[in-house]
Amino acid sequence: MTLEHTTRVQEHIGDPVSAGAPVERAKLEQIFQDIQSDLRFDHMLNGCLNCGICTATCPSAQYYDYSPREIVQLLWTENLEGIYDAMQEKIWACAQCYTCAARCPFGNSPGGLVMLMREAAIKHGMESAKNVLRPFSRVMLKLISTGNQLSPDMISKDAFPDWGPNISKVSAPLETLRKAIPVPTLHTTKTAWEVNLKTSVELYTIWEETGVINSLKAIDPNLFDVIRDIMDDKRDELSEWQEEQAQD
Amino acid sequence: MSKPVLIVGGGPAGLAAAHALTQAGERVVLLEKTSGLGGAPIISGYAKLVPSGEWARDAIGGMVRRVREEQLATVHLGTTVKAFAGTPGNFTAELSNGAAVEAGAAILCTGFTHFDSLNKPEWGFGTFPDVVTTAQVEQMISSGKGVYCPSNGRKPQRVAILLCVGSRDRQIGRPWCSKICCTVSANIAMEIREQLPECHVYIYYMDIRTFGLYETKYYWRSQEEFKIKYIKARIAEVTSDGEKLIVKGEDTLVKRPISIPFDLVVHAIGMDPNVDNKLIAETFGVALEPHGYLERGNSYGNTAETSRAGVFVAGAATGPESIDDSIAQGYAAAMRALALARPVRVSA
């Protein structure tokens, strides 16, 4: 907006004539369509009287500018700008505890609706989704390629600077440390348990078929490239092994 | 002489039906499963009734006396029906006291059951002694003791009334509106303020349904004359800090969750179908509607019908109902039974 003489009101709401909508209407509609067409949507939203029991019971609402009632109202009233706005930040404050769903007298699930909005935010590659998921790239790498979320080799000085001086203790040889644990640890360090090559490839195929890999591509292209290379190698390895087996 | 009419239930509807039929010269057999007549207003000790403001013991007590003194009415207390058979004009009922009754028609005035607040444990009933129900507050008032906190007998300075306890709640399978609780709560709130002018009374609601003319007399009057504060919020939890009750809700106006201390929390309990309805339906061969109330056979053109000819119904047996409407339905059902007892039509 380049008006020279702006009023205070114009500063806040923009010039209704020259300033276009920040996001095209078609995109807002597409995002809402994606949320609403999910088969879970009609089970999670049955109506809303604004009673506020969800927000009253919500642990996140105690600490953040987040209200499950507001989320439900935005969807119920089909407030497309408001939905888009909430997807920028608010929906990421939900802890997915579903206390709201346990309390709602209508049987709505505000937490479930938040999940649908998060999925739409990822699908549309929204910045908010990228920012939220960025710290989890190591976890996603491990999860998508092996099915394990955490493994011993992820505990490193660089990854946990906030652990203070104690982190040096885990810098010792991991295999030795694992063996020192009295309960069985399977002696693995790259995964939490032994992951079969075939299992790993099958899991990756599931991620592909269910659209998770496409979501990853939208959110983090670099991570997508890395994971694709790893999985291409694993697939080659598996088919070589299978050929060997067939020859024997 | 035609056979008597069997009336099941001695609450407002049953008393009205009995009065109407005996006034018309018909004999009635009135059964009541508890040890006294009067129904919920008497047995649960209601105080001043909506809409007249008369005490329940005067208003309904008068109806009880009238039937008690009536020669044509036979009353069996502590009695239920074990078996019921026959056709219109020709029914037989076997009673739990061993007696058998021949009846031309039957009127079911079996009423409702107060919602048990233990089914909403997050609202503190049964956990904290100062969480009570509207029925208990009615008893405090009608007993003459006045409103107090059961934990130590002190007079409350801050009272919260929570609406829709056991109503409009799919979480616990009670989606219906109990119809009378908003009005009753406004009535109780005004009575509390009348007794304790220093006491602040808050009503937490999601809708206010002081239907019809009650809007003026209860909704507006409670705010304008009695300064009752209505807050649009459904309470999430009632806890305690050891001294006061802590009510957790959302102030939906400023959009923030809030915790507020109270001395007394009152559940505006709803009306459940009579707990015996399945047995009643089975015994009398009448249908229940999906919520568990007795099904009405006809909404227009005729009234007081069940799914079985000659078996009529009145009052809160068919769904949440007010006392005065239950009484009106009792008279209407009596008219149906009377028409059955005297089928002679005088042609012009």
Please write the tens of the pLDDT for every residue from B84-127.
999 999 999 999 999 999 999 999 999 999 999 999 999 999 99
- Among residues B252, B270, B288, the one where a domain terminates is B270
Query: Domain A19-124 falls in which CATH fold?
Result: Fumarate Reductase Iron-sulfur Protein; Chain B, domain 2 (1.10.1060)
Q: Is the CB of residue A55 less than 8 Å away from at least one CB of chain B?
A: yes
pLDDT in tens, A129-148: 999 988 888 889 999 988 88
* The amino acid at A247: Q
Residues of A in contact with B170 (CB under 8 A): 46, 105-107
Is B346 part of a structural domain of the chain?
no
If DSSP codes are grouped into helix, strand and coil, which group holds residue B1?
Answer: coil
Instruction: List the alpha helices (DSSP H) in B74-162.
Output: 134-142
- Among residues B270, B285, B320, the one where a domain terminates is B270
- Distance between CA atoms of residues B264 and B155, nearest Å: 9
> Is B295 found in the same domain as B155?
no
C-beta atoms of B252 and A102 within 8 A: no
> Is B59 found in the same domain as B31?
yes
Distance from the B252 Cα atom to the nearest Cα atom in chain A, whole angstroms: 6
pLDDT in tens, A70-108: 999 999 988 999 999 999 999 999 999 999 999 999 999
* Residue A159 vs residues A139, A152, A162, A194, A222: alpha-carbon distances, Å: 11, 12, 9, 23, 19
Instruction: Work out the pLDDT band at A184, boundaries 50, 70, 90.
Output: confident
- Distance between CA atoms of residues B177 and B167, nearest Å: 5
> Is B138 found in the same domain as B87?
no
Based on the structure, what is the number of domains in chain B? Answer: 2
> Is B153 found in the same domain as B94?
no
For residue A2, pLDDT over 50 is answered with no
User: Could you list the residue range(s) of the whole structural domain that residue B148 is in?
Assistant: 117-270
Is B47 part of a structural domain of the chain?
yes
- Distance between CA atoms of residues B49 and B38, nearest Å: 13
Q: Are A45 and A76 in contact (CB under 8 A)?
A: yes
Is B225 part of a structural domain of the chain?
yes
If DSSP codes are grouped into helix, strand and coil, which group holds residue B348?
Answer: coil
Q: Are B56 and B41 in contact (CB under 8 A)?
A: yes
Taking Cα atoms as reference points, which of B320, B308, B291 lies closest to residue B6?
A: B308
C-beta atoms of B206 and A105 within 8 A: yes
- The pLDDT score that the predictor gives to residue A87 is 96
For the CA atoms of B41, B47, B48, B51, what is the dihedral angle to 10 degrees?
-40
Mean pLDDT of all residues belonging to chain A: 87
Predicted complex ipTM: 0.75
Tokens coding B72? 């044509």
pLDDT in tens, A39-58: 999 999 998 989 999 999 99
Helices then strands (H, E): number in chain B? 9, 18
> Is B259 found in the same domain as B153?
yes
Domain boundaries, chain A: 19-124, 134-242
Check whether the bond before A182 is cis (ω within 30° of 0).
no
pLDDT in tens, B188-233: 999 999 999 999 999 999 999 999 999 999 999 999 999 999 988 8
Going through chain A in order, the beta strands assigned E by DSSP cover none
- The pLDDT score that the predictor gives to residue A18 is 52
> Is B16 found in the same domain as B100?
yes
Is B347 part of a structural domain of the chain?
no
Residues of A in contact with B122 (CB under 8 A): 103
Q: Is the CB of residue A61 less than 8 Å away from at least one CB of chain B?
A: yes
- Among residues B246, B270, B294, the one where a domain terminates is B270
> Is B308 found in the same domain as B231?
no
Helix H or strand E segment including B229: strand B229-232
- The pLDDT score that the predictor gives to residue A1 is 44
The dihedral sign for the CA sequence A213, A215, A218, A222: negative
Is B318 part of a structural domain of the chain?
yes
Helix H or strand E segment including B337: helix B323-341
Is B202 part of a structural domain of the chain?
yes
Q: Are B68 and B22 in contact (CB under 8 A)?
A: no
State the pairing for strand pair B271-273/B28-32: unpaired
The pLDDT profile of chain B, 348 residues, written as one tens digit per residue, is: 589 999 999 999 999 999 999 999 999 999 999 999 999 999 999 999 999 999 999 999 999 999 999 999 999 999 999 999 999 999 999 999 999 999 999 999 999 999 999 999 999 999 999 999 999 999 999 999 999 999 999 999 999 999 999 999 999 999 999 999 999 999 999 999 999 999 999 999 999 999 999 999 999 999 999 999 998 889 999 999 999 999 998 877 767 788 889 999 999 999 999 999 999 999 999 999 999 999 999 889 889 999 999 999 999 999 999 999 999 999 999 999 999 988 766 665
Instruction: Work out the pLDDT band at A150, boundaries 50, 70, 90.
Output: confident
Q: For chain A, how big is the Rg over CA atoms in Å?
A: 24
Q: Are B131 and B125 in contact (CB under 8 A)?
A: yes
Q: What is the pTM of this model?
A: 0.82
> Is B250 found in the same domain as B124?
yes
C-beta atoms of B252 and A52 within 8 A: yes
- Distance between CA atoms of residues B178 and B163, nearest Å: 10
A68 to chain B: nearest residue by CA? B255
Instruction: Work out the pLDDT band at A8, boundaries 50, 70, 90.
Output: low
Task: Report helix, strand and coil shares of chain B as percent, to nearest 5.
Answer: 30, 30, 45
The dihedral sign for the CA sequence A92, A96, A101, A104: negative
Q: Are B317 and B111 in contact (CB under 8 A)?
A: yes
Residues of B in contact with A103 (CB under 8 A): 122, 171, 236
